[in-house]
Every structure is written in structure tokens, then in C-alpha cells.
Amino acid sequence: MRHARLHARLPEFTAALTGTYDQGPLRGHNLEPRHTLPSRRAVISILHRLFEAFFPGFVDKQYLTRDNVSFHIGALLDEVADALSDQVYAAARHERSEWAEQRDEALRFAEEAVIHLFERLPELRRLLILDVNAAFDGDPAAKSFNEIILSYPCIVAIATYRIAHELERAGVPLLPRIAGEWAHAQTGIDIHPGARIGERFFIDHGTGVVIGETTIIGTRVKIYQGVTLGALSFPKDERGKLIRGLRRHPELGDDVVIYGGATILGDVTIGEGAVIGGNVWLTESVPPHTKVINSPQAPRFQRRSE
């Protein structure tokens, strides 16, 4: 349905909106760029193809056999190699001014970054299989490994994190955060690609989980929905600007369990085997094998007639 009065005013609306593009301290546009930005859509497509490489037969291609899987995965990685190289190249030239005119250096960096990721793929798959195993061991509602791979949001979030973390380690700008924030939008689980997470990691339910950039998580750690591993404060320099790159998030030892709604802030250490109860607020370290619980007034049961 076409509305004549509305469409008659479209030039006015367009002029008003585009007139804001050169106003204010932040442009918020990428018009007439010297170099194009990476494509968010392309990054998401790369993630989907890598998921298929990690879990063949679970994503798109069905009826794979041991006879044809090598051909299929080889073709898949060939596609990813070209697509990811293009995105790393675009991100590098856009974000690093010294490469703006050094095309060969940017191309070499993109190739090395993709090689780094591809060399790590077998190890990433090993870690993801252990993460699936941890989910099965940690969730009595899980019926099978297939159910976990097909439906659990934590697997999407953790797989994306492990890919993004390797790109972060390789010094790739923009792409790790694009990947991480896509997973955040899909699952409600926000894991910064700079965090360091060990084997057999399980996030039960997952909605509202936040894991900050300098967080360190040991092996066999389990956390529940609504858990925040965040920063207590943000130190600033003499000009009032945030100082970046400092440790400001918690470190969790092996076999730690954190229940729903708990918040742990700052550069603190949660010792091996500690259990943090639901809705606990922590800004100090916890010794190993310690249980921390809230102690509200005990629930009181009363007959409705009273």
C-alpha cells in the first residue's frame, strides 16, 4: 500500500537524516572510505562454515561418509581461507594506518592470521568435544551428545569464542568482536575474545552470562545463567582517559562452580574447587575449596488461612 502524503515527504526526511552525517564529534558513517570495512555478514558466514568443519553432518551438509568427508571439509576450508583472508585484509588496512598504503604487508598479515587459525583447528575441535562432554556430564536434562551440539546455546557461544580468541591472539582487529557480539546476540552469552578459558567449560542455560576481556578460567569450570565476571573499576590516566590492557577481571581456578546471578568483580582469584552461590556479590578473592553463599532470612512457610 502506497501512502501519497508520506511518500511526498520522503525527500524531506532523507535530507534531514543525511544532514546529520557531518554533525557532532563522531561521524558514525564510513562514506568515501580509503579502504572498505570488513563485512559482518561475511564473518557470520565464515563462522557457520567453521561450525560445519568442527561438527560435520550437524550443520548443513547431510549424508556425509568417511569416503567423502575429506573432500567436503577440504572444499569448505578452501572457501573459508579466501573469505577470511579478505576480511582480515580489510580489517587490517582499515584499522592500521601503517598498512593503508602497504598492500603487500596487509596481504601477508592476512595470510599469516588465517594460517595461524587453521593450524589451531584440530586443537579447537578437541577442546569443543571436551566442552560438549562437560555439558553432558554437568546437565542431567541432557539426553545425548547430539542434542547438546544441535541445540545448546553454550556450544554456539563457546565455539565462537574459541575461534575469535585465536584471531585475537593473531592480532586481527575488528573480526573477533564482530564474531563475539554475533554469538552474544544469538545466545545471550557475552564472552570477550580476549578471555582465557580452559578445557571442559560448561555454561548451563547461559542467558545473561558476561565474561570480561581479561578473565582467566581454569579447567572443568561450570557457571550458570546471569553470572557476571566483570571489572570493578576502570582506571584512568592523567587526562581522564581509560587505561586499556590492564588485568581487571577475575581468575577462576580449576573445578569452580558459580551459580545463577552471581557477580564477581575485579582482579580477584576464586580458588580451585570453590563454589559461589546464587546472587552472591564478590569483590574479594576466595580460598580454594570454599563455599560462598548469601545468608538472607530463611524462607518462612505459612498457611494461606493465616
Domains held by the chain: number? 2
Do 127 and 106 have their domain in common? yes
State the pLDDT at residue 294.
86
Q: Which CATH number fits the domain that encloses residue 240?
A: 2.160.10.10
Do 60 and 173 have their domain in common? yes
Do 154 and 45 have their domain in common? yes
pLDDT tens-digit profile, the chain (306 residues): 678 999 999 999 999 999 998 887 777 887 877 778 899 999 999 999 999 999 998 887 678 888 889 999 999 999 999 999 999 999 998 887 777 777 889 999 999 999 999 999 999 999 999 999 999 999 999 999 999 999 999 999 999 999 999 999 999 999 999 999 999 999 999 999 999 999 999 999 999 999 999 999 999 999 999 999 999 876 666 676 666 667 899 999 999 999 999 999 999 999 999 999 999 999 999 999 999 998 776 666 667 665
Do 164 and 203 have their domain in common? no
CB 189 within 8 Å of CB 179? no
- Supply the range of the domain harboring residue 65: 36-189
Final residue in a domain of this structure, among 135, 164, 189: 189
Residue type (1 letter), 10: L
Kindly state whether residue 249 falls inside one of the protein's structural domains. Answer: yes
State the pLDDT at residue 234.
66
State the pLDDT at residue 148.
97
Do 226 and 153 have their domain in common? no
State the pLDDT at residue 35.
73
State the pLDDT at residue 121.
97
Final residue in a domain of this structure, among 168, 189, 210: 189
Final residue in a domain of this structure, among 149, 172, 189: 189
Q: How far apart are CA 271 and CA 185, in angstroms?
A: 31
What 3 state SS string does the chain have?
CCCHHHHHCHHHHHHHHHCCCCCCCCCCCCCCCCCCCCCHHHHHHHHHHHHHHHCCCCCCCCCCCCCCHHHHHHHHHHHHHHHHHHHHHHHHHHHCHHHCCCHHHHHHHHHHHHHHHHHHHHHHHHHHHHHHHHHHHHCCCCCCHHHHHHHCHHHHHHHHHHHHHHHHHCCCCCHHHHHHHHHHHHHCCEECCCCEECCCCEECCCCCCEECCCCEECCCCEECCCCEEECCCCCECCCCCECCCCCCCCEECCCCEECCCCEEECCCEECCCCEECCCCEECCCECCCCEECCCCCCCCCCCCCC
State the pLDDT at residue 247.
83
State the pLDDT at residue 285.
96
Give the other-Cβ count within 10 Å of 81's Cβ: 16
